Amino acid sequence: MIYHNSGEIDKLNVIIASTSTVYGGQYLAYLIDDLSGHFKDIDELIFIPYARPSGMTYDAYTAVAARFFEKLNIAVKGIHKIDNVQKAIEKAQAVFTGGGNTFLLVKKFYEKNLFPVLRQRILEGMPYLGTSAGSNITGQTMQTTNDMPIVKVPSYQTLGIFPFNINPHYLDPAPDLLKHMGETRDTRLKEYLHFNKVPVVALREGSYIQTIAGKWLLKGELSARIYFSLDNIKEVESGTDLKIYRDKFRILE
């Protein structure tokens, strides 16, 4: 594992969201107040469209992001239009990694050798936004994604910004699915913990984590569920500083 030290934690300037769009809403609209502050000194960001939701083109996906950020007077440059992607990340004012398929995203990151340089910039305090797959990669590994393995990845290891993994789009078992005999998300995450020790923060739709002044604040209207271990699963209310659970994440250190 590549868990960082406490000094690096205090520099993080990150928002990682379960989803880009909540039911009945517009793209990133529910995040706009926090994003306006998060990117307050930014006039251009690099967008990483490699996860390609529903197989859409890089250009089309970048255009979706660009339309939103026009509202904040921020220009968006798709990384797929840049020849030297590592140098671009080194010089970027901010980076946004969109959602889609995490396997596809991670494969591209390894092909472009982007994990080391993006990790370093984030730890230096560069503003970062991730949604869905773009949030998944801030954890220690991508092993708690919900996505199908449509491509083969060289490794499950990702950015390791946080000392836990992320499970976005977390769904509680629904009463009307009691006759459904397939596994629930809760069941899948418990299966993961049978073989892995890295805890998981499961974010429901509309929930997100924002780092502010060294805190890892859970935001949104809903609580989150933290899977520390098979015998320690905790509901955490919105507004909680997740860093208070740091001692329970120390298995990584």
Q: Is the pLDDT of residue 173 over 60?
A: yes
148 in a structural domain? yes
Q: Is the pLDDT of residue 35 over 90?
A: yes
46 in a structural domain? yes
pTM (predicted TM-score): 0.93
Please tell me the predicted confidence (pLDDT) of residue 112. Answer: 97
Please tell me the predicted confidence (pLDDT) of residue 253. Answer: 46
113 in a structural domain? yes
Q: Is the pLDDT of residue 93 over 70?
A: yes
Please tell me the predicted confidence (pLDDT) of residue 241. Answer: 96
Of the pLDDT bands very low, low, confident and very high (cuts 50, 70, 90), residue 228 is very high
CATH number at residue 51: 3.40.50.880
Region 97-121: what's the mean pLDDT? 97
| 3-class DSSP string for the chain | CCCCCHHHHCCCCEEEECCCCCCCCCCCHHHHHHHHHHCCCCCEEEEECCCCHHHCCHHHHHHHHHHHHHHHCCEEEEHHHCCCHHHHHHHCCCEEECCCCHHHHHHHHHHHCCHHHHHHHHHCCCCEEEECHHHHCCCCECCCCCCCCCCCCCCCECCCCCCCEEEEEECCCCHHHCCCCCCCHHHHHHHHHHHCCCCEEEEECCCEEEEECCEEEEECCCCEEEEEECCEEEEECCCCEHHHHHHHHHHHC
Catalytic (active-site) positions: 132, 147, 169
d(CA 251, CA 224): 21
d(CA 43, CA 27): 20
89 in a structural domain? yes
Selected residue with higher pLDDT from 234 and 11: 234
Region 200-210: what's the mean pLDDT? 97
Give the tens place of pLDDT for each residue, 12-27.
999 999 999 999 999 9
Region 130-134: what's the mean pLDDT? 97
Q: Is the pLDDT of residue 7 over 90?
A: no
Residue range(s) defining the domain that contains residue 231: 6-252
1 in a structural domain? no
212 in a structural domain? yes
Please tell me the predicted confidence (pLDDT) of residue 17. Answer: 97
Q: Is the pLDDT of residue 179 over 70?
A: no
Count structural domains, the chain: 1
Region 212-225: what's the mean pLDDT? 94
Percent of the chain with pLDDT over 90: 84
Region 168-175: what's the mean pLDDT? 84
Region 123-137: what's the mean pLDDT? 97
